[in-house]
Amino acid sequence: MHHTTNWDALTDFTLRLPAVMAFTLRLPYNISCLVLLPSLVSPVCAVSNLVRGASKKAGGSTKNRGGNSPGKRYGYKKLDGDFVHAGNILATQRLIRWHPGSQVGIGRNKTLFALEDGIVRYTKEVYCPPPQSQESASMCQLPVGAVLYKTFVNVIPVRQENCFHLVQVM
């Protein structure tokens, strides 16, 4: 037996239903809400359906992070008696371990560099801090007659010859 569908009754059934308008709301924490609102002719009715998004449990704390990091390579780069050009780095330091002497400059990160071409010399000298510095306040606590010795890095410039000898070229 052949079954026939009554399309007129089906369309008549759908026409009797109120027109429904649906939209989705985006809420915090990845929850979306589907709201169904009927048309203005029928009484107002709202239905909400909460859909929860994917979530992950918070991770725990980890220990021993960064304990095996490589060193910063601080230290002297040129030894006593080495020849250097202007601009060469003589020493890198985190705290001031070596002080700049003659023909030596100090950078923003306490790096010592040569100001002229010459030979590097390390010397121990008596250190007199500026009067208004914190070091001078700590020196007042030292016994009378005590002196501070600090290591200074100096560059001895290369002497230029004043007299030139003519060389015969054949």
Residue 93 forms beta bridges with which residues?
Answer: none
134: pLDDT strictly greater than 70: yes
Counting Cβ atoms within 10 Å, is residue 90 exposed (0-12), middle (13-18) or buried (19+)?
buried
Q: How high is the pLDDT of residue 58?
A: 78
Mean local confidence (pLDDT), 83-102: 97
Q: How high is the pLDDT of residue 21?
A: 52
Counting Cβ atoms within 10 Å, is residue 99 exposed (0-12), middle (13-18) or buried (19+)?
middle
Alpha helices (H) in the chain, listed in sequence order: 7-16, 134-139
Q: Who wins on pLDDT, 28 or 114? A: 114
Output the six-digit token pair for 94: 């985190």
Strand arrangement of the beta sheet that strand 148-157 belongs to = 83-84, 118-127, 148-157, 98-100
State pTM to two decimals: 0.55
Residue 78 in 3-state DSSP? coil
Identity at 23, one-letter amino acid code: F
Output the six-digit token pair for 158: 């290369």
Q: How high is the pLDDT of residue 28?
A: 55
Q: CA Rg, the chain, in Å? A: 43
Q: How high is the pLDDT of residue 8?
A: 54
45, 39 contact by CB (below 8 A): no
153: pLDDT strictly greater than 80: yes
Cite the residue boundaries of each domain of the chain with CATH code 2.40.50.100.
75-157
CATH of domain 75-157: 2.40.50.100
Reported as a pLDDT band with limits 50, 70 and 90, residue 13 is: very low
